[in-house]
Structure 1
Amino acid sequence: MIRLVGVTLRRGVKEVLVDANVTLQPGERIGLVGANGAGKSSLFSLLAGRLQADKGEVEMPPTWRLSEVAQNLPETEQGATEFVLEGDLTLLRARHALAEAEASHDGLRMAEAHAMLQDAGAFDARARAQSLLLGLGFQSTQLDAPVNSFSGGWRMRLQLARTLINPAELMLLDEPTNHLDLDALVWLEGWLARYPGTLLVISHDREFLDAITRVTLHLDRAQLTRYGGNYTAFESMRAERLEQQQAAYEKQQDRIAHLQHFIDRFKAKATKAKQAQSRVKALERMEKLAPILAASDFSFEFREPTNLPNPMLAFDEMACGYGSTTIVRGVNRTVLAGQRIGILGANGQGKSTLVKTIARELPVLDGRMTEGKGLTIGYFAQQELDVLRPDEGPLAHMVRLAKAVSPQAREQELRDFLGQFRFTGDMVNQSVGSLSGGEKARLVLAMLVWQRPNLLLLDEPTNHLDLQTREALSLALNEFEGTVLLVSHDRALLREVCDEFWLVSQGGVAPFDGDLDDYQRWLADSAKEAARALKAAAAAPSSAPMAPPAAAPTMAREDRKAASQARARLAEQTKPLRREIDGIDRKLGELGAERARLEAALATGTQAATAIADSGRRLKAIADEVDALEMRWLEASEQIEAMTAAAGL
């Protein structure tokens, strides 16, 4: 277990923890929550050993291995799969041990190293790494692409994959969902649900916290409080505790006023002096309770648009993409005034491409996009934070914006406006490069509000926002009189804002008939259906002739040779996965037979009580193992399918 006993931690002159005491049990899933700047990342550094407590003790089993996401962006030409594999420190040590043994020609050490490799799961390590990459949204064609060929967000996904593959008793995840789309987020939740170790996660995504955590640690004013329950349960319990504390404070204030009134009235009277003095001492002994100072609420609102064209947009066989590459085609949709549309779809299907085309960042490749008269677009792009000028302050950004778009304004008006977004005093001139991610996002929101749009295009606007700011954004969007098109992995925001959904998939855009729960079920059903089809194809007799495609009779000899070589390469690449699937099928058969024997024995009713208990425990263990094996079978099957699709076979 992990124990903090009387821990005080300072960063400079700031106290992050003061006399903190908490116990975390092995296998618990804990959400660490608190306001931005409260010290959550500092607590992670303390647990990881990068910081030392100024006072008290941090107790942790010395044999525990730690896994956490590195925050640096890697610069290497190493392939993505091999880069992820190096995150498995147990495998890495086994590889180094084998290399050293082979260099010294020590047969005994080589045998020991091979045993270490087997224990580390070296035989399927590459398949496991690629399964993580595919789950996090990488395409099969990217599995061996150089790391430095990916953008910053994708490199952070690679760092996350390195963390997940590392077998560790303690995992620390600091905002792991920031660079994920909704599909990858759902996959990550499923993966973490199967993680057997102790998990601590910092996140501002309430649905993510609710799905994976069962304990909440609240860091507030250098105090660490443990709550049993997920984030929603924590909010409820904390609200109740605050009400009780406030009631106790008010009751004490009434008692103090009563004592003080008695003292003031009778301290000069000889007959009452003794009683008055006793009340003075009672006041001095009284432990003063502090009033509950709720965090200052943050709220803002979008200004009323000057006009609302209807329809706002009309697409006629529109095609979107980059240069000569078409990503989405045949778009025939109409966007009306007041609609709230959530845009769903897997990574790489074209959600951001569609939004960029609507925002005029990309040209229409084919067809037509008709804009309503007076259309004014407010666009929050994923990379919007990167285009802020790091050497200028928020006020300079607003001055430049006010000169470019109406309404014009004096500097004091702009200062007052920025104050609504928590940029006050000297902060309006602080360089944007020194601001936090959340502060930069608030500045971008302020700039959007100033433009007074009637159509908001929001592409992952919550990546750097804390929970309070996310709630403020949700309220502002619900009160906004214009139209909203939203791409987000924040399911709470999608649920609260959107009335309908579009699905970007297989090169097209279509309405999705359902809510987010339906979408998640659709994702799961699609994956299962694909896996069943793959399993059926794999179970078919290999000697059975395959029906040639219609173009086969006229296929040139060179084309047939190339296709044959592609099939051979695919067979070699998928061989480890197919071998693993066969092993899982055999193991599932063995477990099924064992379960049948145990259930038959229990049905006789002749077993002793201890034997019945042992059988029950074994049946539970079998059920857990079957669930894990079936999930791994599904992942491996999906990976084979993705590799087959990428090969065009």
Structure 2
Amino acid sequence: MAACGDYIRKEFPTIDDDLYQYVEGILDSSRDDFEDGEEVYEAIGEVLHEVADKPEKEVRKICKRLLAILKGIPDGGLDVVNDKRNNGVNKVLNAPVNLGAMAATLQDQVEDIKSIWVTTRDDGSKVDAKKLEKAEAKLQQKLEKRVGDSGAVNRNVNASMALETASASQMTSKKDSRMEGKGGVNRTQDIRIENFDVAYGDRVLLQGADLTLAFGRRYGLVGRNGLGKTTLLRMISSKQLRIPSHVRVLHVEQEVASDDTSALHSVLECDHERSELLSREADLQHALEEGGGDSIGEELARVYEAMRLAEVDKAPAKASAILSGLGFSVERQSWPTKSFSGGWRMRLALARALFSRPDLLLLDEPTNMLDIKAILWLEKYLQSWPTTLLVVSHDRNFLDTVPTDILYLKAQKIEAYRGNYDQFSRTKGERERNQQREFEAQQAKRAHVQEFIDRFRYNANRASSVQSKIKMLEKLPELKPMEKEGEVTLRFPEVEALSPPILQLNEVSFRWDNSRNDIAFLFSGVNLTATLQSRICIVGENGAGKTTLLKIITGKLSPTRGTVHLHRNLKFGYFSQHHVDQLDMSVCPVELLQNHFPGKPMEEYRRMLGSFGVSGDLALQTINSLSGGQKSRVALALMCAAMPNFLVLDEPTNHLDIESIEALGKALEAYQGGVILVSHDERLIRMVCQELWVCGEGGVRCIEGGFDEYRRIIEKELEAQKS
């Protein structure tokens, strides 16, 4: 990023530090996702325009150069990468075209030539809300001077500044307070947080709740989106909820700092005891060489013994094994942390946490940043986790594999269940049925007694019996009916059948800089087909080219070699990982659809949103106030409003809760169009996909046997890696 920073300073010498850090953060966090200069311009162009009064053409040129610096491509190299018409050919199947003849009359034929290629692009803002949020406190006053109330940046600033902060309160006994004040006489590693409240602004998330975490148990925290799972983890890690001071807590939330420290050393340095012993050993060795006496030698011997007990010599191998399991090759482990994108630095943060082994480890959606191979490794690693683990996850298979207990957040309380998610689901269902039966039995009894009272209320001979029955009714405990959570339903639009062939990739190859022969192909010689009946999942390690392949299929990128044949009536619906962040947060879902597809009646917009579970008041709330899963469903509704007949989904489950993922799987099964998705959610893949395309080793191959065969291949690789 140093080169990018220098270039920005050179082109915009008047940029202040806050805006500079914001722009640098956007570029750093999204470097792997930018495919062309246009996407860079969409992400930071508005901010750059406000820094200096430069023409749009010049700012676009600067953004293109920034992309070249990020990708390590020399000047001029991007001309080939960005020229989609020169970078391979996308031909329509049943419309043969003589390109030479059309080129001769280019001026007259320009519209016909345009129709050959799929040239749709995502026009949503690429301002990263998470990155922007970090800079809000310092940027607010300065940005207000630069951007009007209607500006996209200012809307995001105002929206995020409007967010309330979380708070917590807790009742503690005098006994516990005295013990803590004496230095924690009770050294138990168990954690009990009783009778506590958690609020987010004016909204109460938890009230009078209790939480018990037994040492050595692994807890999965589950519940619908927006109920406060992430907020609870933050309250615990920030000590706003009181836990024993001797319990070491680590919350994996922030990515590792970007500096010159190597990935391996970054993991090793989080073991403070090891660092202190090595430092002390070096000091004593130096003192001994300077002629130190017997006392120095004796102390050095004690340090060596402490190092042996702490297994200092085994630490590098242990740290390397953790990094390898999370996808860092031996070569990458020596790279400086500043060379990694934000997602990889989050993996480093997870590796540091696993290596340091705190008394209480808090993980929030750890599988979101991992590919399937890394997820399988993490599942096995956490099964033998020696301390206490509290994890929030939407990955059903992960929750069936890792937790020993499930904590269910519902109705501002936390219910504890023994066993994994599958056992929790069965136990919860039985508990709810019993509760409903008990309520119905009591209601029947109340009705029977009330009937007796009403019948003999004015009968003097039965007065004592009536009074007895009235007292009995008053003493009955007040039971409540079982409140069922609203079921999430998703429905994709109906589509008309198309005669095959629909989509074909013939000898497709791709590399980022086609002007240089020394740049390796990301993949080559790819031959694949898909129909409207296809249910395909693209899998592979991060960086293997899954998202790039999707963009080639949809026409956002063109192949370096080979051709992509598309049916002339094929219409893609593309859902990228960034669609949720690119929504206009300042409007409500109805307004969002109205802005993108004007001219329809209000009932039509509500019907579109209702197909994805965004109904009632939700459709009229500002998008900024919705939970992550609700925003994802709005993004899906926006995508489907264009009536696509082939869905291309890149990690659609990242913001969805378990119930929404189940609903998505059912909706994709019922959808009449084609489906290609990239996902690491094993349950969704098993529900939907009939075919797997595996990216890796410079190619894309279709494997027989589905996900079971792919999992067998990965487990075999992990065993070989371990040995």
Alignment partners' CA distance in 2, 1:306 and 1:112: 78
Alignment partners' CA distance in 2, 1:321 and 1:410: 46
Match 2:597 to one of 402, 407, 410: 402
Match 1:366 to one of 547, 561, 577: 561
One-letter amino acid matched to 2:328? F
Aligned to 2:10: none
Alignment partners' CA distance in 1, 2:633 and 2:271: 38
Partners of 1:171 and 1:200 within 8 A in 2? yes
Aligned to 1:152: 342
The 1:149–1:397 alpha-carbon spacing in structure 2 relative to 1, beyond 3 Å, is: farther
Match 1:9 to one of 188, 193, 197: 197
1:493 aligned to 2:684?
yes
How far the C-alpha of 1:178 sits from its partner, in A, is 1.0
Q: Deviations over 1:158-193 (max 9, x none)?
A: 211111111233322221111111111111112112
Alignment partners' CA distance in 1, 2:473 and 2:637: 49
How far the C-alpha of 1:526 sits from its partner, in A, is 3.6
The 1:29–1:284 alpha-carbon spacing in structure 2 relative to 1, beyond 3 Å, is: same
The 1:478–1:157 alpha-carbon spacing in structure 2 relative to 1, beyond 3 Å, is: same
Aligned to 1:235: 425
1:50 aligned to 2:239?
yes
1:185 aligned to 2:375?
yes
Q: How does 1:267-286 map to 2 (within 5 A)?
A: 267-286=457-476
One-letter amino acid matched to 2:550? V
One-letter amino acid matched to 2:312? A
Match 1:78 to one of 253, 261, 266: 261
Q: CA RMSD in A?
A: 2.9
Alignment partners' CA distance in 1, 2:477 and 2:327: 56
The 1:94–1:294 alpha-carbon spacing in structure 2 relative to 1, beyond 3 Å, is: farther
Aligned to 2:227: 38
Q: Deviations over 1:386-437 (max 9, x none)?
A: 333444443343223314xxxx523443244334445456654655455433
How far the C-alpha of 1:299 sits from its partner, in A, is 0.3
Alignment partners' CA distance in 1, 2:191 and 2:411: 20
- Alignment partner of 1:302: what SS? coil
Q: Which moved more, 1:109-118 or 1:371-380?
A: 109-118
The 1:364–1:449 alpha-carbon spacing in structure 2 relative to 1, beyond 3 Å, is: same
1:88 aligned to 2:259?
no
Q: Which moved more, 1:431-440 or 1:320-329?
A: 431-440
1:29 aligned to 2:218?
yes
1:130 aligned to 2:130?
no
Aligned to 1:261: 451
The 1:173–1:97 alpha-carbon spacing in structure 2 relative to 1, beyond 3 Å, is: farther
Alignment partners' CA distance in 2, 1:409 and 1:377: 22
One-letter amino acid matched to 1:67? L
Give ranges in structure 1 of 5+ residues lacking alignment: 532-633, 638-649
Partners of 1:455 and 1:483 within 8 A in 2? yes
How far the C-alpha of 1:38 sits from its partner, in A, is 2.9
Q: How does 1:292-371 map to 2 (within 5 A)?
A: 292-324=482-514, 325=519, 326-371=521-566
Alignment partners' CA distance in 2, 1:71 and 1:95: 27
Q: Which moved more, 1:162-171 or 1:15-24?
A: 15-24
How far the C-alpha of 1:135 sits from its partner, in A, is 1.7
The 1:277–1:396 alpha-carbon spacing in structure 2 relative to 1, beyond 3 Å, is: same
1:163 aligned to 2:356?
no
Match 2:404 to one of 208, 214, 219: 214
The 1:176–1:92 alpha-carbon spacing in structure 2 relative to 1, beyond 3 Å, is: farther
How far the C-alpha of 1:223 sits from its partner, in A, is 2.7
Partners of 2:225 and 2:657 within 8 A in 1? yes
- Alignment partner of 1:385: what SS? coil
Partners of 1:90 and 1:166 within 8 A in 2? no
How far the C-alpha of 1:20 sits from its partner, in A, is 4.5
The 1:511–1:269 alpha-carbon spacing in structure 2 relative to 1, beyond 3 Å, is: same
User: Which structure carries more relative contact order (alpha carbon 8 Å, separation 6+)?
Assistant: 2
Alignment partners' CA distance in 2, 1:320 and 1:307: 31
How far the C-alpha of 1:253 sits from its partner, in A, is 0.7
1:483 aligned to 2:674?
yes
Partners of 1:7 and 1:17 within 8 A in 2? no
Q: Deviations over 1:231-253 (max 9, x none)?
A: 00110111011111000000111
Aligned to 1:618: none
The 1:359–1:209 alpha-carbon spacing in structure 2 relative to 1, beyond 3 Å, is: same
Alignment partners' CA distance in 1, 2:486 and 2:694: 38
Alignment partners' CA distance in 2, 1:209 and 1:497: 20
Partners of 1:4 and 1:20 within 8 A in 2? no
How far the C-alpha of 1:365 sits from its partner, in A, is 1.0
How far the C-alpha of 1:95 sits from its partner, in A, is 5.3
- Alignment partner of 1:332: what SS? strand
Partners of 1:8 and 1:16 within 8 A in 2? no
The normalised TM-score by structure 2 is 0.67
One-letter amino acid matched to 2:592? H
Match 1:386 to one of 578, 581, 587: 581
1:443 aligned to 2:634?
yes
Partners of 2:490 and 2:613 within 8 A in 1? no
Partners of 1:375 and 1:454 within 8 A in 2? yes
1:452 aligned to 2:643?
yes
How far the C-alpha of 1:65 sits from its partner, in A, is 3.2
Alignment partners' CA distance in 2, 1:168 and 1:73: 17
Partners of 1:213 and 1:229 within 8 A in 2? yes
Alignment partners' CA distance in 1, 2:312 and 2:637: 51
The 1:511–1:32 alpha-carbon spacing in structure 2 relative to 1, beyond 3 Å, is: same
- Alignment partner of 2:241: what SS? coil
Q: Which moved more, 1:324-333 or 1:477-486?
A: 324-333
The 1:396–1:15 alpha-carbon spacing in structure 2 relative to 1, beyond 3 Å, is: closer
The 1:18–1:397 alpha-carbon spacing in structure 2 relative to 1, beyond 3 Å, is: closer
- Alignment partner of 1:334: what SS? strand
- Alignment partner of 1:178: what SS? helix
Alignment partners' CA distance in 1, 2:512 and 2:502: 24
Give ranges in structure 2 of 5+ residues lacking alignment: 1-188
Alignment partners' CA distance in 2, 1:5 and 1:527: 39
Partners of 2:491 and 2:611 within 8 A in 1? no
- Alignment partner of 1:156: what SS? helix
One-letter amino acid matched to 2:690? D
Alignment partners' CA distance in 2, 1:446 and 1:127: 48
Q: Deviations over 1:303-344 (max 9, x none)?
A: 111443422211110113423352111011211221111222
Q: How does 1:564-579 map to 2 (within 5 A)?
A: none
Alignment partners' CA distance in 2, 1:360 and 1:167: 46
The 1:476–1:278 alpha-carbon spacing in structure 2 relative to 1, beyond 3 Å, is: same
How far the C-alpha of 1:454 sits from its partner, in A, is 1.5
Alignment partners' CA distance in 1, 2:456 and 2:272: 75
How far the C-alpha of 1:28 sits from its partner, in A, is 1.9
How far the C-alpha of 1:463 sits from its partner, in A, is 1.0
Q: Deviations over 1:354-402 (max 9, x none)?
A: 1121122211110111001201111112233333344444334322331
The 1:459–1:113 alpha-carbon spacing in structure 2 relative to 1, beyond 3 Å, is: farther
The normalised TM-score by structure 1 is 0.74
1:413 aligned to 2:596?
no
Q: Deviations over 1:44-79 (max 9, x none)?
A: 3454462236xxxx5x5x654333313356444433
Partners of 2:497 and 2:532 within 8 A in 1? no
Alignment partners' CA distance in 2, 1:184 and 1:212: 14
Q: Deviations over 1:600-633 (max 9, x none)?
A: xxxxxxxxxxxxxxxxxxxxxxxxxxxxxxxxxx
Alignment partners' CA distance in 2, 1:109 and 1:266: 94
- Alignment partner of 1:322: what SS? coil
Aligned to 2:6: none
